[in-house]
Amino acid sequence: QVQLVETGGGLVQAGGSLRLSCAASGRTFGTYVMGWFRQAPGKEREFVAAIWWSGGKTTSYADSVKGRFIISADNAKITVYLQMNSLKPEDTALYYCAAGETGWPTMERTYRYWGQGTQVTVSS
């Protein structure tokens, strides 16, 4: 089992920045990929960013956040970060951290473990 706890959400004005953190505990040694997803009210949960370990570290981003968000992680796979810059009102959502052991990094079914989420609200 892997437990994930997200922190760092909050209220920010458009154009501002936030940094989300996800602390992993438990059997993290089998983790292959860690990702961030988000769900806005009335919408499906969507992929935001992922980082995976295959040789080195590789990252992937949704088109909507590319160039504004940066995902990073320590090599022990204990903490994953999501630096969010130039935030827009449409970034408002509940942000989830997730961890998986195999599969395609942008797909929800890859992820076996999920955090409870942290709310990000961007005001215009």
- Tokens coding 93: 């959502």
From CA 83, how far away is CA 101, in angstroms rounded? Answer: 23
The secondary structure of 44-82, three-state, reads CCEEEEEEEEECEEEEEECCCCCCCEEEEECCCCCEEEE
Whole-angstrom CA distances from 122 to 13, 33, 73, 90, 99 are 5, 28, 24, 8, 26
27: tokens are 């059997």
Q: Tens-of-pLDDT digits for all 124 residues of the chain? A: 899 999 999 999 999 999 999 999 988 777 789 999 999 999 999 999 999 987 788 999 999 999 999 999 987 768 999 999 999 999 999 999 999 988 899 999 999 999 999 999 999 9
Residue 38 confidence (pLDDT) = 98
